[in-house]
């Protein structure tokens, strides 16, 4: 079945460090890919998305590129801030009606000053 | 910017009691979803709803669960007889079409004692 795998956390970085959170997927067909973020005590927010191969999603300094050949959608940010501390979920959704979002297990990021 | 809202933010109930979780999807959205996240675990799909009927449901969504759109704005999840293992964060989501991005509400944290 369709699934998402993410790098294990927690990840701890110093402020201004470079961030990469790896994400790979397994899907029959070509899904849309997403990164959602969950700040402490809050709900899920869409961070960025890409709907087809080679698309790059970006938002708030975060980027991820849809790589069909490696079935990956790694999240990157050049310089993290303390306010980026959150849990990041990679997710996919097949492009058929009614279909569910399938989430990865989440990666917890802590950024220390 | 329009957003999905959920009430209550927190609910504590006794095992065996009925609970109703409420959601107000984004106003021009037609597709509605419930997900749950047990503490520290993955976000899991429960059910999707379109045109006043369930489109898809997971194995978690058994006879104890039901959904309803009682009027033009609310979307509810009812758990008839809560169990300890129903303790989780419940997220509502909506999308304008079946193919478009799902937007999530802030969640209701349910604790069953």
| pLDDT tens per residue, range B33-43 | 999 999 888 89
Q: Which of A88, A93, A99, A108 to mutate to test the interface with B (most CBs of B within 10 A)?
A: A99
Contact list, A97 vs chain B (CB under 8 Å):
31, 50, 55, 97-99
Confidence of residue A97 (pLDDT cuts 50, 70, 90): low
User: What is the 3 state secondary structure string of A31-56?
Assistant: CEEEEEEECCCCCEEEEEEECCCCCE
Quickly state the pLDDT bin for A9 (edges 50, 70, 90).
confident
- Summarize the confidence of residues A69-81 as an average pLDDT: 97
Per-residue pLDDT in tens (0 to 9) along chain B, 113 residues: 778 999 999 999 999 999 999 999 999 999 999 999 998 888 999 999 999 999 999 999 999 999 999 887 899 999 999 999 999 999 999 999 877 889 999 999 999 99
Q: Which two tokens stand for residue B27?
A: 């106003």
Which chain B residues are within 8 Å of A100, Cβ to Cβ?
33, 45, 48, 56, 58
Residues of A with CB under 8 A from a CB of B: 32, 34, 36, 42-46, 49, 89, 93, 95-106
How far apart (Å, rounded) are the C-alpha atoms in residues A84 and B65?
36
Contact between A48 and A63 (Cβ < 8 Å): yes
């Amino acid at each position: 079945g369709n699934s998402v795998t993410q790098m294990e956390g927690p990840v701890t970085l110093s402020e201004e460090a470079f961030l990469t959170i790896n994400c790979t997927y397994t899907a029959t067909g070509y899904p849309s890919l997403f990164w959602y973020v969950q700040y402490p005590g809050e709900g899920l927010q869409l961070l960025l998305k890409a709907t087809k191969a080679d698309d790059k999603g970006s938002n708030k300094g975060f980027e991820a590129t849809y790589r069909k050949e490696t079935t990956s959608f790694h999240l990157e940010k050049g310089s993290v801030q303390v306010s980026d501390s959150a849990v990041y979920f990679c997710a996919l959704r097949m492009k058929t009606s009614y279909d569910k979002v399938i989430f990865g297990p989440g990666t917890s990021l802590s950024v220390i000053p | 910017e329009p957003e999905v809202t959920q009430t209550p933010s927190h609910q504590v109930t006794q095992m065996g009691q009925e609970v109703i979780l409420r959601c107000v999807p984004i106003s021009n959205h037609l597709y509605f979803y419930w997900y749950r996240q047990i503490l520290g675990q993955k976000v899991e799909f429960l059910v999707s709803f379109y045109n006043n009927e369930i489109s898809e449901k997971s194995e978690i969504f058994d006879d104890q669960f039901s959904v309803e759109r009682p009027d033009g704005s609310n979307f509810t999840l009812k758990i008839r007889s809560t169990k300890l293992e129903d303790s989780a964060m419940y997220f509502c989501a909506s999308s304008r079409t079946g193919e478009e991005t799902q937007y999530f509400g802030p969640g209701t944290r349910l604790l069953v004692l």
